[in-house]
């Protein structure tokens, strides 16, 4: 399930892409399929091991250039990369976990080349606010969400860091009610019948991509989208 639109990001084959806070690697894998030279970056050693295994499997299957993707473990506040090292940067659902978000944004801007583009995604304000209201457990955990962003505030931070914000989008409308359900019944209560049923529907939608749910989500995204995506460019 992709949050970032790679066409809006402007990614082209052969370009260098950093996926900050890559997690299980969903965006890194798509960039690799598109021919990018990918660096998947995270603090979680176990997640990175799984991502590296998938890169190797993709290369063996001809889905990516051998040696064209790799993983790096480290701290988002001190990126181990040179100034302007990347053509494109993705930071998907990560800044809400970082107390010093301005420092992290500054580092992302530093490693992006002049003329390069960045996509930053965070939970949208009002769906996230409902989750916080329903459950302290949802966000008061180690490594959990430390803030709720308003899109204009985040756009202002990106601008102050030296980027030109070029676009905005909302995505994953069908996922907002799922997280409200989980927060209402207990975020770890995956055996709840409503949660299980809704999760089955989301998996079915992801695998089958039926016209009904795809159309419904596209229509609902501007109002109900769980995530907001900001696209930005570093001036040349």
- What confidence tens digit (pLDDT) does each residue in 140-151 have? 988 899 999 999
The answer to whether residue 1 is domain-embedded is no
Query: Helix H segments across the chain?
Result: 6-9, 26-33, 45-60, 101-111, 125-134, 151-160, 175-185, 193-208, 211-224
pLDDT at 55: 98
pTM, to two decimals? 0.96
- What confidence tens digit (pLDDT) does each residue in 176-219 have? 999 999 999 999 999 999 999 999 999 999 999 999 999 999 99
pLDDT at 10: 98
Q: Is the distance from CB of 38 to CB of 14 less than 8 angstroms? A: no
The answer to whether residue 142 is domain-embedded is yes
Measured CA to CA, the distance from residue 37 to residue 79 in angstroms comes to: 17
- CATH number of the domain that residue 153 is part of: 3.40.50.150
pLDDT at 210: 96
Q: Is the distance from CB of 224 to CB of 102 less than 8 angstroms? A: no
Number of domains making up the chain: 1
The answer to whether residue 211 is domain-embedded is no
Please check the confidence at residue 28 and state whether its pLDDT lies above 90.
yes
Mean pLDDT over 213-233 rounds to: 97
Could you tell me the pLDDT band of residue 41, with boundaries at 50, 70 and 90?
Answer: very high
Give Cβ neighbours of residue 83 (< 8 Å, ≥ 6 apart).
Answer: 110, 111
pLDDT at 143: 87
The answer to whether residue 229 is domain-embedded is yes
pLDDT at 33: 97
* Percent over 70 (pLDDT), the chain: 100
Round the average pLDDT of the chain to a whole number and report it. 97
Mean pLDDT over 114-125 rounds to: 98
Q: Is the distance from CB of 59 to CB of 65 less than 8 angstroms? A: yes
CB atoms within 10 A of CB 234: 20
The answer to whether residue 14 is domain-embedded is yes
Our measurement of the distance from residue 21's CA atom to the centroid of its chain's CA atoms, rounded to an integer in Å, reads 8
The answer to whether residue 57 is domain-embedded is yes
The answer to whether residue 168 is domain-embedded is yes
Least confident interval from 15-24, 52-61, 140-149, 171-180? 140-149
The answer to whether residue 177 is domain-embedded is no
Least confident interval from 2-11, 135-144, 164-173? 135-144
Could you tell me the pLDDT band of residue 139, with boundaries at 50, 70 and 90?
Answer: very high
Q: Is the distance from CB of 122 to CB of 95 less than 8 angstroms? A: yes
pLDDT at 107: 98
Integer-rounded Cα radius of gyration of the chain: 18
Give the DSSP letter string of 132-199: HHH-STTTSSTT-------HHHHHHHHHHTT-EEEEEEEE-TTHHHHHHHHHHH-TT-TT-HHHHHHH
Domain containing residue 101? 6-124+138-172+224-233
């Amino acid at each position: 399930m992709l949050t970032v639109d790679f066409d809006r990001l402007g990614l082209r084959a052969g370009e260098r892409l950093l996926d900050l806070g890559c997690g299980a690697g969903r965006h890194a894998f798509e960039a690799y399929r598109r021919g990018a030279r990918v660096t998947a970056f995270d603090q979680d050693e176990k997640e990175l091991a799984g991502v590296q295994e998938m890169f190797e499997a993709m290369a063996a299957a001809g889905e990516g250039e051998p040696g064209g993707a790799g993983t790096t473990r480290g701290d988002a506040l001190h990126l181990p990369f040179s100034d302007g090292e990347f053509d494109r940067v993705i930071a998907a659902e990560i800044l809400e976990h970082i107390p010093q978000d301005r420092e992290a944004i500054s580092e992302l801007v530093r490693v992006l080349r002049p003329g390069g583009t960045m996509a930053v995604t965070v939970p949208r304000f009002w769906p996230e606010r409902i989750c916080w209201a329903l459950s302290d457990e949802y966000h008061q955990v180690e490594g959990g969400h430390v803030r709720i962003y308003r899109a204009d505030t985040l756009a202002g931070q990106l601008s102050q860091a030296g980027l030109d914000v070029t676009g905005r989008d909302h995505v994953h409308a069908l996922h907002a009610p799922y997280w409200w359900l989980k927060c209402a019944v207990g975020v770890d209560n995956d055996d709840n019948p409503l949660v299980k049923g809704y999760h089955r529907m989301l998996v079915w939608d992801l695998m089958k991509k039926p016209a009904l749910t795809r159309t419904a989500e596209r229509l609902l995204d501007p109002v109900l989208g769980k995530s907001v995506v900001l696209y930005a460019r570093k001036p040349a």
